[in-house]
Amino acid sequence: MSQGVIARRYAKALINLAEKDLENTGKSLTALADVYSNSTELSEVLSDTKVSSQIKQNVLKKILKKIKVSKLVDTFIRYLLAKRRIVLLPNIERAFNLFLQEKLGRIEAE
């Protein structure tokens, strides 16, 4: 299964969970994806299988605290990390925002 398909599935699940707070969830997810994408060191640490999960959790905890994401995004990102899908974060964020725009009626579905 391609990364794009997997990312869309995660994004769709998050859209469904965030039903009452879609825009804030999108903002939190975008902020986190930007930090992840713009920091090579961070993305390498979080995706490296040789780095212990405890270290990854601690690094992620500090970042989530700085960005002040919602509880839902916090839980979602920790889930991605646990499932070794954190590398999909930028793709998930893009898919989420496309679904969000569609849901809000700002763009039409394909």
Q: Mean pLDDT for the chain?
A: 88
Beta strand spans in the chain (E): none
pLDDT, position 12: 93
pLDDT bracket for residue 103 (50, 70, 90): confident
Q: Hey, what domains does the chain have and what are their CATH numbers? A: 3-103 (1.10.520.20)
CA gap 98, 104 in Å, rounded: 10
The tens digit of pLDDT for each residue in 77-102 reads: 999 999 999 999 999 999 999 998 88
Q: What is the mean pLDDT of residues 25-40?
A: 91
